[in-house]
Structure 1
């Protein structure tokens, strides 16, 4: 699993002119899933995301997690995070999981986040042409990959 986390002051997802999800203070998570991803990847990644200290404390030091600040989360599926650009100019998405694998993993990821966070997590619409808006706070943008746990 690959993610791009963005600390946001606000974020929203719209599909065909309909607002699907919106949050204020929290995280926008773009999530890419590949066939090799497992429940262990979900557990590791959700723990890391929920405990990552990227929100400011009273001294303006990034020392608080999304849980500490009671922030909200939106998760958007993003197969293009697995783009391979080594050859030519057209990205290959061969490593991105097909919907029959990706959808259940995406849904499981969201469910685990909700359980650990203790509240509803916003989502996009899997496979839809989504319009994602955000106001990146900081800016703080962090990438993570469960196959390269650094």
Structure 2
């Protein structure tokens, strides 16, 4: 499981001209799922997201977590995070999980994150053609892969 986290001052997701998610201060999380991913990957990543100290404290030092600032989250499925670009010019997505595997893991990820934050996590729509708008605050962007924990 791979995520890209962006600290945002605002973010939204639009599908067919309808806004389906919108937040102010918080994180936009792009989530890529592989066939080998499990609840263990979900638990580890959600714990990271909740506790990463990427928000500024009173001295403008990144020292506060999402939970500490009561920030909001949007999670967007992003199979292209698992693109292989080793050969040729057309990315291969063979490592990305198919919907029958990915959808339950995506739903479990959102539920685990909601439970840890004790608040609603907004989402895009799995497999939809989405427009994602954001103001990256900082900018702060992190890439985390659950398979590279050490």
- Report the TM-score range of the alignment, normalised by the length of the smaller protein: over 0.9
Match of 1:131 in 2: 131
Whole-Å Cα distance in 1 between the matches of residues 130 and 147 of structure 2? 27
SS in 2 for 1:54: strand
Structure 1 consecutive aligned stretches of length 4 or more whose deviation exceeds 2 Å? none
Structure 1 equivalent of residue 96 of structure 2: 96
TM-score (norm 2): 0.99
Describe the SS at the equivalent of 1:134.
strand
What's 1:37 paired with?
A: 37
Deviation at residue 149 of structure 1 after TM alignment: 1.4
Aligned residues between the structures: 150
Q: Are 1:24 and 2:63 an aligned pair? A: no
**Map of 1:83 onto structure 2:** 83
1:64-95 CA deviation, whole Å, 9 max, x = no partner? Answer: 00000000000000000000000000000000
Map residues 97-112 of structure 1 onto 2, 5 A cutoff: 97-112=97-112
Matches within 5 A, 1:67-78: 67-78=67-78
Q: 1 CA distance for matches of 2:121 and 2:6? A: 15
Any stretches of 5+ residues in structure 1 without a counterpart?
none
